[in-house]
Amino acid sequence: MSYKKFTYLRILVIAFISATISIAINMDNVILAISAIIIGMVAMFAIKRNVKELKTDEMIQSIAGRSSLWAYSICVPSLALLSIFFMFSNLSNKGSDIYNLGIILSYVVLFHIATYSIIFLCLKNKYNSDDK
Amino acid sequence: MTNKIKMLRSEKGITQEELAEVVEVTRQTIIAIERSKYVPSLELAFRIARYFNKNIEEVFNY
């Protein structure tokens, strides 16, 4: 199967899942939504197995790396600012939902920074390891 | 960084797709390298140079 055909089939599967989940939400049917997701996952797995053409290479990986860095650089400060805003705008009402949301967001930001730092250090150690 | 891949490719009479298949990258990567929009890794540069039976300096100029 060519990569073009794979992309076409992937769009079809995504459309199927989206449509089925929309119907499931309207019908208030959780089983239908879960079934749609499972069928979609199985279909994607079956389609991916048949793709023999090269899907990724070093340029795509380089772009993905840069995109990840940009996404991190945009998301983390935005979430941090939002959490500060939520907390400081509700200092007088500390038990409110907005205040709690601010706290949760700040933990999400900290988790992001911690994950980034750990992965960064691991990779740095990997490349700087001294084989004496 | 410039390169002579397009010229070498037309001398050898192969398409971008064929070259991409030989050096195990996508055609988009070959297009980007030919247009000097993407600088390949050292490994890929060597693979391309070896395919054309040239030294790396004969294919890529810095």
Contacts of A6 in chain B (CB under 8 A): none
Cβ separation B38–A59 shorter than 8 A: yes
Looking at the structure, tell me whether residues A119 and A92 fall in a common domain.
Answer: yes
Report field, pTM of the whole predicted structure over 0.80: no
Q: What is the ipTM of this complex?
A: 0.83
Q: What is the mean pLDDT of chain A?
A: 89
Instruction: Determine, yes or no, domain membership for B59.
Output: no
A22 and A66 co-located in one domain:
no
Say whether both A20 and A45 belong to one domain: yes
User: How many domains does chain A fold into?
Assistant: 2
pLDDT digits (tens, 9 = 90+) for B20-47: 999 999 899 999 999 999 999 999 999 9
Interface of A with B in 59-78 (CB under 8 A): 59-60, 62
Nearest residue of A to residue B37, measured between CA atoms: A59
Contact in structure between A10 and A48 (CB atoms under 8 Å): no
User: Considering the domain boundaries, does residue B28 fall inside one?
Assistant: yes
Q: For residue B43, what is the nearest residue in chain A, using CA coordinates?
A: A58
Domain assignment present for B62: no
A101-112 pLDDT, tens digit per residue, is 999 999 999 999
Which of A125 and A51 is assigned the larger pLDDT? A125
The pLDDT value recorded for residue A67 is: 95
Separate counts of helices (H) and strands (E) for chain B: 5, 2
Tell me, what CATH number does B22's domain have? 1.10.260.40
Count the domains in chain B.
Answer: 1
Query: Is A58 within 8 Å of B26 when comparing Cβ atoms?
Result: no
Residues A29 and A89 in one domain: no
Assess whether A73 and A124 both reside in one domain.
yes
A29, A67: one domain: no
A4 touches chain B (CB under 8 A): no
pLDDT-based confidence at residue A91 (cuts at 50, 70, 90): confident
CA A101 to chain centroid:
20
Q: Give the CA dihedral B27, B31, B34, B36, nearest 10 degrees.
A: -130
**Do A70 and A116 sit in the same domain of this protein?**
yes
Find the domain containing A37 and state its range.
Answer: 3-49
Q: How many CB atoms lie within 10 A of CB A16?
A: 14
Which residues of B lie closer than 8 Å to A, measured between beta carbons?
A: 20-21, 24-26, 28-29, 32, 38, 40-41, 44
Let me know whether A19 and A73 are in one domain: no
Name the residue range of residue B45's domain.
2-54
Any domain includes B50: yes
Identity of the amino acid at A25? I
Q: Are the beta carbons of B32 and A60 separated by less than 8 Å?
A: no
